[in-house]
Amino acid sequence: MRWYQRIVLVGAVLSAAACGTSEPTAGSPAGGTTAASVDAEPLSDADREAAPAVAQRFADAANAGDSAGVAATFAEDARFDSVGRIYPSRADIMDRFLDPEVIRAGGRYEVTGTRWNGSRYVVDYEFTTRGGGSETFYYEFLVRDGLIQDVIGRYS
């Protein structure tokens, strides 16, 4: 592929991302679950009630450096969209994102606010690492059957 073809391809991918289309990304299965498809099913009362506790268990386990505890909060087929980086399974979420970028970095989540956005429980965080880095962002958790099914993470 020539350099200008790569530029056109990158532009098309970025344009699709900006428009909110759900094209598969590297590492995601073609025709995989999208945030829109998991949100389509109404949230049960039990899941609405469980969501705050599940989100807290996630943060507590991450803050304790407990990789197994973090993984246990996710469904096996969970999906995590971290600012456009899509992780299509619990294994990918842990291996490619949370273990290297949170657990091993000594990351700490400090909750600065919570709210509901439709069927998603939104938690605002101030995130710091052992090395002194910090970021402000939020996660929109979709909890089903007492486990995190989908997360959308964006910078605040």
pLDDT digit string (tens) for 122-141? 999 999 999 999 999 999 99
Over the Cα atoms of the chain, what is R_g? 16
Same domain? 87 vs 58: yes
What rounded mean pLDDT belongs to the chain? 85
Same domain? 118 vs 51: yes
Q: Please enumerate in sequence order all residues whose Cβ is within 8 A of that of 130, keeping only pairs 6 or more positions apart, or say none.
A: 105, 106, 107
- Token reading at 16: 């699709």
Give the total number of structural domains in the chain.
2
- For residue 25, give the DSSP letter: -
| The pLDDT of residue 2 is above 70 | no
Residue-range definition of the domain harbouring residue 2: 1-31
Binned at pLDDT 50, 70 and 90, residue 25 comes out as very low
CATH number for the domain harbouring residue 80: 3.10.450.50
* Predicted model pTM: 0.78
Report how far residue 78's alpha carbon sits from residue 71's, in angstroms, rounded to the nearest whole number.
10
Same domain? 17 vs 62: no
The answer to whether 82 and 88 are in contact (CB under 8 A) is no
Same domain? 70 vs 146: yes
Same domain? 26 vs 37: no
Q: Average pLDDT in the 88-96 region?
A: 98
How confident is the model over 110-120, as pLDDT tens digits? Answer: 999 999 999 99
Same domain? 47 vs 107: yes
